[in-house]
């Protein structure tokens, strides 16, 4: 026997039933969507911030940076749109920008055209 995922009431009928009525189903799903929207919004904002930091640096022709400099500007290294490792060189992309981290840990920012 299952219980309603929202109110916990015992459910009768179909074995795959998850909610006792439409109200419980809709309330549950709306709540889930709100939480997902919030998580996506926060992640998107962090990615946007990373993108803006790289864009500003390229516009200032400051293409050579250190990890510390980027971190001080608020760059979040956990949030990139792709990550590649090739011959000891790390490539972190944030949309149309790439940070190339060389074997000596020096970093170069490039805009992908
Ligand atoms: Zn219910």
Ordered DSSP codes for the chain: --B-TTT-PBP-S-TT---SSHHHHHHHHHHHHHHHHHHHHHHHHHHHHHHHHHHHHHHTT--EE-HHHHHHTT--TT--SEEEEETTEEEEEETTEEEEE-TTS-EEEEE--
Looking at residue 14, its pLDDT comes to 85
Mean pLDDT of the chain: 94
Task: Please report whether residue 8 resides in a domain.
Answer: no
Tell me which residue range forms the domain holding 35: 22-111
Task: Please report whether residue 28 resides in a domain.
Answer: yes
Task: Please report whether residue 67 resides in a domain.
Answer: yes
CA of 39 to the centre of ligand 1 (A): 26
Band of pLDDT at residue 13, cut at 50, 70 and 90: confident
Task: Please report whether residue 79 resides in a domain.
Answer: yes
Task: Please report whether residue 3 resides in a domain.
Answer: no
Task: Please report whether residue 11 resides in a domain.
Answer: no
Task: Please report whether residue 107 resides in a domain.
Answer: yes
Encode pLDDT of 31-45 as tens digits.
Answer: 999 988 999 999 999
**Parallel, antiparallel or unpaired: strands 64-65 and 82-86:** unpaired
Looking at residue 74, its pLDDT comes to 97
Protein residues within 5 Å, CB atom, of ion ligand 1: 4, 6-7, 9, 20, 24
Looking at residue 113, its pLDDT comes to 86
Whether the predicted pLDDT of 55 surpasses 90? yes
Task: Please report whether residue 9 resides in a domain.
Answer: no
Q: Which of 34, 81, 75, 78 is nearest to 56 (CA)?
A: 75
Looking at residue 1, its pLDDT comes to 73
The number of folded domains in the chain is 1
């Amino acid at each position: 026997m299952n219980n309603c995922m929202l109110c916990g009431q015992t459910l009768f009928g179909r074995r795959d039933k998850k909610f006792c009525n439409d109200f419980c189903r809709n309330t549950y799903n709306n709540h889930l969507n709100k939480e997902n929207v919030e998580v996506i919004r926060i992640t998107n904002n962090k990615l946007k911030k990373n993108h803006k930091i790289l864009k500003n640096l390229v516009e200032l022709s400051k293409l050579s940076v250190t990890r510390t400099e980027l971190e001080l500007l608020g760059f979040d290294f956990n949030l990139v749109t792709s990550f590649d490792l090739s011959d000891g060189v790390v490539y972190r992309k944030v949309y149309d920008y790439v940070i190339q981290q060389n074997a000596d840990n020096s970093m170069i920012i490039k805009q992908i055209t």
